[in-house]
Amino acid sequence: MQAKLSTMFQSLRVRNYRLFATGQLIKLIGVWMMYIAQDWLVLDLSGNSATALGVVTALQFTPVLLLTLISGRLADRYDKRMLLFVANIFWTVLALAMSLLVVTGLVQLWHVFAFAALLGVFNAVETPVRQAFVSELVGMPLLPNALSLNAATFNSARILGPAVAGLAIAAFDVGPVFLITAFSSIAPLVNVVRMRTDELYRKDLPPAGERDQAKVVDGLRYVARRPDILLPMALMSVVGMTLFNFQLTLAALAKTVFKTGAASFGLFTTALAVGALVGALAGTGRRSRPTVWLVLGAAVGCASFGTLVGLAGSYWLVVALLLPTGFFMVFFAQAANQRVQLGVDAAFRGRVMALWVLVFLGTNPVGAPIIGWVAETFGAGASIWIGGLISLAAALLALTWQLRRSGARLRLRVLPMPRFYVVSPGAE
């Protein structure tokens, strides 16, 4: 067990990565508390409108759609550590301003809309830079482990943040939750400053002169020539747009279908995050690039359980189904992320990861208003199972395409335990 735990958390032995991870954990706990408070505030200000939630989600992710590729170019040209520092200063000031509006009681619905749009600008700049920066913190040998621990950090915050937010909203209202978010964002600023630049892994980067010539279109052409990178990105774009809207759909499901309060909504998000944390930790032992079959299998599992969540008729059945849904959701996203990161050249990493963030987050402006409309018209459950079925169809289509392209065959083994496996050409 000691050896297993040592392997699971080995990236934390690297001082720079340890500072990065702890700063992110503190900040993300506050961010997830803010997400819960923001959704609850929108429902209160709009009279329980799922469409208003969809608009907020769209505003939050539209800048990702518009600015992410430019941010990837910045990540390939300039110091990623300094870019992270500047972006986090912007976020700290933004969170503090919003918290003051809420605490003083001056907040209106349009304030939340503006805050969501500015939050999207921050995410558009910070996320691709942060994704690309991980390889400079630990180097390529530890990169799979560090990426998995990133997902574990993210989902640990998703467990703690919503649970604490639900209790805090019930006890103190939403104002203190926004204040906690503002103060928690100081941690990554301090830790970025404390990093030792001479211990960063930058030897595989091209010379500064070549980085200055980095163009967005070159990154797009690079991905277009790489079907092994293009497939997980295309699949993620569909699943991200149709199913990964739980921030919106679970809030509507809790309040409009099961008539629950903020604490019970937090339990939905916490159940999803517990499964997600297990899914993230399941990938920490990975030492090489995930196979395309692992990515496709995880996508099928994610879509299947997501569909069942939407069809579930009882509160506690939804909670139970959110556990495996969260597991496969993060296991799929992390395997796809690692397949992209471990297959890309260092010179293109910033632009490729920007494209990854675009398909992972940037599809929300398209999907969120539609999902919100479906939730308000046909019910929150329908908005989840319809998205699940679309994602399942996309995953099965991608699996069929990959089987035909590779000439492999899918087989079912019944004993000793039922499972599907892939037989490569000539192996039969």
pLDDT in tens, 129-159: 888 888 888 877 788 888 888 877 877 776 6
Write out 278-295 in H/E/C secondary structure. Answer: HHHHHCCCCCCCCCHHHH
As given in the structure block, the two tokens for residue 118 are 């500015």
SS3 (DSSP) at 420:
strand
Give the end-to-end CA distance of the chain in Å, rounded to a whole number.
38
Residues 6+ apart with CB under 8 A from 315: 258, 260, 264
Question: Is the pLDDT reported for residue 125 higher than 60?
Answer: yes
Average pLDDT over the chain reads: 82
Percentage of the residues of the chain whose pLDDT score is greater than 70: 89
> CA-CA distance, 112 to 42, in Å (whole number)?
7
Point out the least confidently predicted range of 21-25, 66-70, 92-96, 118-122: 66-70
CB atoms within 10 A of CB 321: 21
What one-character DSSP code corresponds to residue 413? E
pLDDT at 206: 53
On the 0-12 / 13-18 / 19+ scale of CB atoms within 10 A, 208 is exposed
pLDDT 10s digits, 40-58: 888 888 877 777 877 887 7
In Å, how far are 13, 260, 269, 273 from 254, measured between CA atoms?
41, 6, 10, 16
In Å, how far are 121, 159, 372 from 114, measured between CA atoms?
11, 27, 19
> CA-CA distance, 388 to 376, in Å (whole number)?
18
pLDDT at 393: 95
pLDDT at 306: 92
What is the Cα 365 distance to its own chain's centre?
Answer: 15
> CA-CA distance, 268 to 263, in Å (whole number)?
9
As given in the structure block, the two tokens for residue 272 are 């999803």
As given in the structure block, the two tokens for residue 210 are 């070549």
Residues 6+ apart with CB under 8 A from 286: 144, 145, 148, 338
- The beta-strand segments (E) located in 192-308 are none
pLDDT at 412: 72
Question: Is the pLDDT reported for residue 213 higher than 60?
Answer: no
Question: Is the pLDDT reported for residue 385 higher than 80?
Answer: yes
Q: What is the largest CA-CA distance in the chain?
A: 70
Closest among 364, 295, 376, 303 to 331, alpha carbons compared: 295
On the 0-12 / 13-18 / 19+ scale of CB atoms within 10 A, 106 is exposed
Question: Is the pLDDT reported for residue 6 higher than 70?
Answer: no
Are 199 and 139 in contact by the 8 Å Cβ rule? The answer is no
Residue 294: φ, ψ to 5°: -65, -45
Angle subtended by helix axes 216-224 and 349-361, to nearest 10: 80
Q: How confident is the model at residue 394 (pLDDT cuts 50, 70, 90)?
A: very high
pLDDT 10s digits, 261-291: 666 667 887 788 888 888 878 877 677 788 8
Residues 6+ apart with CB under 8 A from 167: 263, 266
Domains and CATH numbers, the chain: 13-200 (1.20.1250.20), 215-406 (1.20.1250.20)
